[in-house]
Amino acid sequence: MKAISFVAGAALATVASTASADTLTVYTYDSFTSDWGPGPAVEKAFEAECDCDLEFVAMGDGAELLARLKLEGARTDADIVLGLDTNLTAAAKDTGLFAPHSVTADWSLPIEWTDTTFIPYDWGYFAFVYDKEKVSNPPESFDALAASDLSILIQDPRSSTPGLGLLLWVKSVYGDKAAEAWAGLNDQVVTVTKGWSEAYGMFLEGEADLVLSYTTSPAYHLIAEDDDSKAAIAFEEGNYMQIEVAGKVASSDQPELADKFMAFVASEAFQSIIPTTNWMYPAVTPKAGLPAGFETLAQPGKALVFSSEEAGALRKPAVEEWLATSAK
């Protein structure tokens, strides 16, 4: 009876402790919180510092995060949104739902970071990934891709940040002739998925020859699976760059804890998790450098990127242009 009473008492104490702990709610995308993603390690590391409960709420992809936040407004449960990118930050700022940050760091980005609302946590280049055992002569430009008989999987730009990134990539290369480019590329598109996870999963199941992903994606197969059969293509015209960001929600009921998490995102503890869980380049290079295998990745000869303001202005017309050509 004493043992049973002790266990019951310990359980009640645990419940009481959990109930009294401050909770920080972070909205993010589903692959971040997966068992193989950064979420579990980030949660463990931050909770060890904060004496709090870090709770992730997962959604399909970055664009869905913004749509959810717009729907909820100031009533949202989110304290932090993690998973938007610079193609969405202008629209996110326009909502008035985000607070400024005071984080400083030695950012290791290809561009200077001056945003006072959002902080970067990783970055990479969009690319088409293929299996070297199935595709022997991968196309090295959009024109070559359109002229090939290869099938591709892409993501919906209305719900997915890679999907939107592809539209802006095409726009940065073709400008006013982007619609013509899409008219050629659409013949290769097998499926448009809601998010990245669905598309990449279909690619691994052999549903298409190429999938829109990142130049860093092959690192996962190489490091985690000891498989060097996957490769990404550096296009002759350049590859479009993505910078993923975190932001503090202005209506957070845990403002100090949210500030602490924002600072944690730029820390060694967080950044060292990114390369081999989110399979992207960290926004601050860890002291140990990048893991072995990253040096083998495709390196675009040119980085293509619109400013957040340019991307915000182009987003709607680019989506409309894509929809119009996809319907034909």
Q: Regarding the domain with residue range 124-241+300-326, which homologous superfamily does it belong to in the CATH classification?
A: Periplasmic binding protein-like II (3.40.190.10)
Q: Which residues contact 5 (CB under 8 A, 6 or more apart)?
A: none
pLDDT in tens, the chain (328 residues): 333 333 334 443 344 344 457 999 999 999 999 999 999 999 999 999 998 999 999 987 888 899 999 999 999 999 999 999 999 999 999 999 999 999 999 999 999 999 999 999 999 999 999 999 999 999 999 999 999 999 999 999 998 999 999 999 999 999 999 999 999 999 999 999 998 999 999 999 999 999 999 999 999 999 999 999 999 999 999 999 999 999 999 999 999 999 999 999 999 999 999 999 999 999 999 999 999 999 999 999 999 999 999 999 999 999 999 999 987 5
Q: Is 194 helix (H, G, I), strand (E, B) or coil?
A: coil
Distance CA 310, CA 103 (A): 25
* The model's pTM: 0.90
Pairing between strand 230-232 and 189-193?
unpaired
Domain range list for the chain: 21-123+243-294, 124-241+300-326
Architecture of domain 21-123+243-294: 3-Layer(aba) Sandwich (3.40)
Distance CA 316, CA 158 (A): 9
Task: Please tell me if the domain spanning 21-123+243-294 has the same topology as the one spanning 124-241+300-326.
Answer: yes
- Count of other CB atoms within 10 angstroms of residue 288: 9
- Count of other CB atoms within 10 angstroms of residue 236: 15
Q: Specify the pLDDT at position 60.
A: 77
Q: Specify the pLDDT at position 118.
A: 98
Distance CA 285, CA 9 (A): 46
- Evaluate whether 244 touches 126 at the Cβ level (below 8 Å): no
- Evaluate whether 64 touches 27 at the Cβ level (below 8 Å): no
Q: Specify the pLDDT at position 62.
A: 80
Q: Specify the pLDDT at position 11.
A: 40
Q: Which residues contact 150 (CB under 8 A, 6 or more apart)?
A: 135, 138, 139, 188, 209, 210
Q: For tokens 């009921």, name the residue.
A: 253
